[in-house]
Every structure is written in structure tokens, then in C-alpha cells.
A and B are shown apart, each in its own frame.
Chain A
Amino acid sequence: MIEIQHLTKRFGALTAVDDVSFDVARGEVLGFLGPNGAGKSTTMKMVTGFLDPTSGTAKVCGHDVVSDPIGAQRKIGYLPEGAPLYGDMTPRGLLKFVAEARGIPASQRAAAIDRAVSRVHIEEVLNRRIDTLSKGYKRRVGLAQAIVHDPEVLILDEPTDGLDPNQKHDVRELIREMSRDKVIVLSTHILEEVAAVCSRAIIIARGKLRFDGTPADLQAMDPAHGAVSLTIGQAPGTTEALGESLSAIDGVARVEPLDAANGVASFRLYPAEGANVFGPLSALAHERGWEVDHLAVEDGRLDEVFRTVTAGDARS
């Protein structure tokens, strides 16, 4: 439903988005990741028809955003970065305006507004000036205006930025709920959010596409993915001695001592290709009678991968 090909945007000498191509299909929730200034917002602005690309094309439901911006915009619900809203209006007034501008027939407008309002839970502030609302409410009003016409494509630029943990949870629930029959593209720099709601992740840095795959693929890129971490309380013997006996386990390629303090020793064991070290390790621990505080296979840390993938990006 979204087709982006060789999309490029230059501002003078700066190339904000550099030859980015990807497609998004119905039912996908695409997490758009990248350091600040990487080109996430610029890409979203081009897809929504706010900015014209320098070169390349973007199509939304078959409508080219340059030659038929109105056609594309009809299909899109958009929450711009920072959720800008008309502060002198009430949420009700704003939603009426957006519903009308979106071409919802007068007879269906009230129902459409009610549905959007109940989805984001802003009933109690409907008649207050938007200027006087808290950041969380403003963000939810922004979300309400993006979904009032039940769009096929939802583009959300940092939808949970500045929300408290409960509100973040609500927004993620909302996104999950809506993802079945829509295309949702959201940008974020909260990595857990990607694992929590996205079916696919894209990382861009310095305007270039660096990664495109599932959040699980992304986690698997961490060298620590599949490694076993072990913490022993009341360590018997020195860290070196323990490390040697761990290295002796079949299938262990490398042992990395983590921190050792107050008689507690931690290690990370990297298995050789395809080897299973969890079983032999727990057997060894049992045999030696170690007091094991923690023993687990690591999933890989998204922030580690994120740093590796976007490394060399000096722009902040």
C-alpha cells in the first residue's frame, strides 16, 4: 500500500534522505528507527505530501504523492512530529474541522468523531481549549484527528513521545488494535516499542537505509544473541579459575567475564556455531554445587544493535 522508490531529499548541501526504497503491505506495523536527524521525519513528510522529494517516488494506495497529493492524502491519517494543533480550538471543534476537511459526509461526522474520541479516551476534555490541555491529552487529540476518517494508512511521527508509561501503554494497545486492517508506519527512538508493537523495523541513519527486517532479526544481530549469561554468588575460587573451567565446556567458543564484585562472578558464554551450551553448563554448575543466581540465554539487546547499525553517525 506504500511504495517508496529511490526517495531522496536534499536541503542545499545536506542530503536528508538518500535513495531510500521500501514497500509496506496491509497489516504491517512498520517501526521507523534512527538517531535524531537521520531523516525519519523528512521521509514521513514526503510520504504525506508535505514535502516534495528531490528525486524518487512515493505512492500511497497507488496515488503518487507528487502528481496526485490529494488522492494520497485522502488515504492517510497523519500525526506530525510534536502533534501540532490549533491551540485556540477545542478538541471537538478541531475534530469537526478535520472530519469536514476529510470529506466525511455531514450525516456520518458525529459518529466518526465519537468513535475516534472513545478510542483515544478524550471524552472529558472535548470542550476545553487545546492550549490548556496536558501534553498527554494533546498527543491523544493529535491521534484522534489522525484516525477520525478511519484511514487505510496511518503515519505517526513519534506517537508516544512525552507520554507517561500508562499513556504509552494505551497508545500501543490502540496501534495493535488498529493494525489488523491498516498499514501503520510509526517512528520512534524507544526500542522496546518496536519489539512491542511492530511487525517490521527499518533503521535509517544519515538518510540511508541501514536495516530492514523483523524486530527478532534485529535482535539476532547482537553478537550476544544466543549467548548464555551466568551469575554465581559466593564464587568458589578466582574469576580466572572459573573462566577456565567454563571455557572447557564442550561447544563454548569464548567466555567473557563481566563484572565481579562482592564475591559474585558474572560471565557470558558465546557458543560455537550451532552448539548448545545451556545444558552442559547447568550440568556443570550442578555438579560443582555453584550457587547460581542467574542463568539465561540472551535475546540480544536492541540498543546494542541500534548503536552498531547507526555507528559513525555523528549528527545528533
Chain B
Amino acid sequence: MSRTITVFKRELAGYFATPVAYVFIVVFLLFTGITTFNVGNFYERGQADLMSFFFFHPWLYLFLIPAISMRLWSEERSSGTIELLMTLPISTTQAVFGKFLAAWCFAGIALALTFPVWVTVNVLGEPDNGVIVASYLGSFLMAGAYLAIGSLISSLTRNQVIAFVLSALGCAVLVAAGSDWVLNLVRSVFPEWVAQTVASFSVQAHFDQITKGIIDLRDLVYFGTLLVACLAANAVTLNASKAD
């Protein structure tokens, strides 16, 4: 556990050692702001809630989260520091988990810095703050799931651009699995239960549930399973191919 924290601290400090962290946070806030106010018509809707804020998160995260996760392992591989890290008395699991937690914590910091929209909606009206807290939790869980996918893909290549593109693609598949046109396409070929199964893999459906303020165990299990499965696969691929 203490070794996980050691890796976590180094990795998190690494984000802030370069301007990358600050650039990312600014871009993150800019995009969440634009989607909330310009695309989501926050004011025009005249509702005291953050639906227009959270609605776009599954799509925004498609390119914002892989930007965080792409460097996790690709950079270690390309600079050779993976040999330094993996010959310290730290297990692969501790290294994978420590790095993932640092990335997740960084995403959490960026997400937390969107608090002015929460303040705004409380000033303008009387929103259901329980729903908002649940939505933040859902958004954070979704970021974690995306990061786990990104971390896994990052461990497979030493090229950060490839890691970014493939992670975005992987997450896009998970989001799109719940969209109508994908489901209709599936329905036209397969029976309904196949379509239902595909839909149940979609991040969108689970996230939508949580943003309604319903924290269902099934949704938590979904995100938890996705996260743990990806990180476990990450450790396996790393052990098999760290020296390539």
C-alpha cells in the first residue's frame, strides 16, 4: 500500500511539474463551460439544475481523458524509465494502481474546479443538490473507467499519439453502444436480447441513471468492474511486454 502511495505521489507531482497540467485544466474548464452555456443552453432552459452541464460529459471525456491517460505508460516505455520503475521493489499491481490513482485524482481536481457552475445554479435558483452530488460522483466514476481503458491502451504502445487515438476510439465504442442508431443496427440483424446486452455495456446508460440522482448498485458495479478489469489487464500486458 505504501509503495502504491509512493508511485501515486511521484506521478501526480509529475502532472504539475510541467505546464501540461495547467493547460489541460484550462481546456477542460473551457470545454465544459462552452458545452454547458452555449450548446446546452443553460440559461434558456430556465431550470435550476446541471443537466446541461453533465449531459455532455460522456462525449467531452472522449478526448479529454485520453489526453491524461496517454502518457501513463507510453512515456515510461519510450524514455526507458519503465526499467527503472519496474526494477524497484514495487510490484506491477502497485505501479499500475498508483499511476492510475494519480491520473484519476488529477481528473478529479479538474472536475472539482468546475464548482463555479454549481455555485451559479444555487445562486440562480434552488436545485436538487443531492442530484448534483450524485452526478458529480457519476462523472468521476466515468472518468475513472475511461482512464482505466486509457491506461491499458497506453501500456501497449510507446507512442503517445497512438495511445491517445486508440483510447478515444475505445471509449467512443463504449459510449456509442447505447446510442439509438447503433442499437437499431444491432436489432436489424440480431434478436432484441442481443441489443439489450449491447446497451447494458454502454457507459451512457449507466451514467444517465446516476445523473438522475439514482445511485443503483448495478451502475456502481458496472463502473467498478470495467475499472478493475482494465487495470488487471493492464498489469498482465505490462508483465508480458514491459521490455519490448
Q: Please give the residue numbers on chain A whose beta carbons come within 8 Å of chain B beta carbons, in ascending order.
A: 45, 48-51, 70-71, 73-74, 76, 78, 80, 82, 84-89, 93, 97-98, 100-103, 145
Contact = CB atoms under 8 A, between A and B. Distances in A.
Contacts of B243: 45, 50-51
Given A97-B10, A100-B6, A86 B81 contact: yes
Given A97-B6, A103-B89, 11 more contacts: A49-B86, A49-B87, A50-B243, A70-B90, A70-B91, A71-B89, A73-B87, A80-B84, A80-B87, A89-B17, A102-B89
A101 B14 contact: no
Closest 7 CB pairs of A and B: A84-B80, A80-B83, A73-B89, A88-B17, A48-B87, A101-B88, A100-B6
17 contacts: A48-B87, A49-B87, A50-B86, A51-B243, A70-B89, A78-B84, A82-B80, A84-B79, A84-B81, A86-B84, A89-B10, A89-B13, A89-B17, A97-B6, A101-B6, A101-B7, A101-B89
A84 B7 CA distance: 17
B81 to A, nearest CB: 5
B178 to A, nearest CB: 38
A51 B81 CA distance: 15
B6 A78 contact: no
B3 interface: yes
Nearest to A157: B83
Contact of A88 (B7, B14, B86, B91): B14
Interface of B: 3, 6-7, 9-10, 13-14, 17-18, 79-81, 83-84, 86-91, 242-243
Contacts of A102: 88-89
A89 B83 contact: no
Nearest to B80: A84
Contact of B79 (A70, A87, A93): A87
A87 B81 CA distance: 9
A82 to B, nearest CB: 6
Nearest to A82: B80
A45 to B, nearest CB: 6
Contacts of A82: 80
A73 B84 contact: no
Contacts of A80: 80, 83-84, 87
Contact of B14 (A45, A48, A86): A86
A101 B90 contact: yes
Contact of B84 (A70, A88, A100, A145): A145
A50 B90 contact: no
Contacts of A86: 10, 14, 79, 81, 84
B15 to A, nearest CB: 10
A73 B80 CA distance: 18
Given A50-B243, A98-B88, A101-B90, A45 B83 contact: yes
A101 B87 contact: no
A279 B112 CA distance: 89
Contacts of B6: 97, 100-101
A49 B3 CA distance: 17
A239 B13 CA distance: 74
Contacts of A76: 87
Contacts of B79: 84, 86-87
A100 B2 CA distance: 9
A101 B3 contact: yes
Interface centre among A48, A71, A100, A102 (most CB of B within 10 A): A100
B89 A85 contact: no
A183 B159 CA distance: 37
A89 B90 CA distance: 19
A115 to B, nearest CB: 19
A131 to B, nearest CB: 10
Contact of B18 (A49, A73, A88, A93): A88
A13 to B, nearest CB: 16
Contacts of A98: 88
Nearest to A70: B89
A49 B83 CA distance: 10
Contacts of B13: 89, 93
A84 B83 contact: yes
B152 to A, nearest CB: 21
Contacts of B14: 86, 88-89
Nearest to B79: A84
B50 to A, nearest CB: 35
A52 B103 CA distance: 29
A84 B242 CA distance: 15
A82 B80 CA distance: 9
B87 to A, nearest CB: 4
A74 B88 CA distance: 7
Contacts of B80: 80, 82, 84
Contacts of A103: 89
A152 to B, nearest CB: 13
